[in-house]
Structure 1
C-alpha cells in the first residue's frame, strides 16, 4: 500500500504532485531520481524488489531510495519514516547504509574526487559571484552574520 501511494503521489503519469513538488521534496528533478534509481538497481541487488518467505513482495526499489533520500535531505530519523513509509527503523538504517555505499561505488570517480585546477577556478568564480571571494580552503565564512538564524544554531 505504501508503494502504491508513493507511485500515485509522485511517479505515475497522472500523479498527485507536480514536477515542482517533486523537486522541492526530493531536492532533485524527477529524471535525476529515475536515473539514480536505475543505477543503484543495476549495481546493488538490495535495491531490487524481492519476495519474502511467504511470497509477498518486499519493499519496492522506489520506496527504498525515497527513504534513503529523505533521511539525508531532511535529517529524518528512522523512527519517523517507520510511521510514514511503513519501514522499520533497522530496515531504514540498512537502506541508508546500502544506498550510501552504492552511491560511492557508482559515482566516486566522477563526483567524489578532489577538485582539479579547473574545478577550483570554477568554484572560486561561482563563490565570488555570490559575494564570497577566495572561499576555497577558508573557514572564515562560517562566522558571517545571519539575521534570521534559528536560535538553536546560534
Structure 2
C-alpha cells in the first residue's frame, strides 16, 4: 500500500519541488556579479581648434585671403561661392554642424572646419588623421564630420527632388 493519498498530491509535491529548484536557480543567476565594463580614459589634447578656424578663415575666406580664388578652386575642387553655399546649407540643415559649447563651456568646432574636413577627405581620399594638422580636428571627429556631411547631402538631395 502506498503512503500517497492521491495522484494529485504527488503532482502537487513534484510541482512544488520543481518550482523551488527553478527559484533557486533564478536567485543564484541574478545574484552573480556582472563584471563592470572597462573604463576608458581619453587623453585630452589641446588642439587649438580656434586657431585652426582662424588659419582656415585667413587663408581662404577673409577680405584679403592668403590664397587666391584659383588656388581655392584647385584645392577644394569647386569655386568659393559654391563651397560657402554648401557649408551654410549643411549648417542650417544638420544639427551636428551647428557650433555649440562642449562640456567645459568652450565653443566647439565651426561648421566651416567640419565641412572642410568632410569635403577634403572626399575630394582627396585622405585619411581622417590628416585633418588634425591643418584644421585641428581629432581623427574620430574627422570621421564623424565626413559621415554627417554625406548624410546631410543625401537628406538635402532627397528633399530637393
| Pairwise same-fold verdict (TM > 0.5) | yes
Are 1:14 and 2:46 an aligned pair?
Answer: no
Count of equivalent residues? 111
SS in 1 for 2:101: coil
- Return the offset for 1:84: 2.5
- Return the offset for 1:110: 5.5
* 1:5-154 matches, cutoff 5 A: 5-108=55-158
Unaligned runs of 5+ in 1: 112-154
Task: Point out which structure has higher relative CO (alpha carbons under 8 A, 6+ apart).
Answer: 2
Q: Residues 109 and 45 of structure 1: is their aligned pair in 2 closer, same or farther, counting only changes over 3 Å?
A: closer
Give deviations 1:91-123, integer Å, cap 9, x for gaps: 111110000000011024658xxxxxxxxxxxx
Unaligned runs of 5+ in 2: 1-50
SS in 1 for 2:57: helix
The structure richer in helix per residue is: 2
Once residues 87 and 155 of structure 2 are traced to their aligned partners in structure 1, the CA distance between those partners, rounded to angstroms, is: 14
Once residues 54 and 80 of structure 1 are traced to their aligned partners in structure 2, the CA distance between those partners, rounded to angstroms, is: 26
TM-score, normalising length from structure 1?
0.68
Q: Residues 110 and 44 of structure 1: is their aligned pair in 2 closer, same or farther, counting only changes over 3 Å?
A: closer
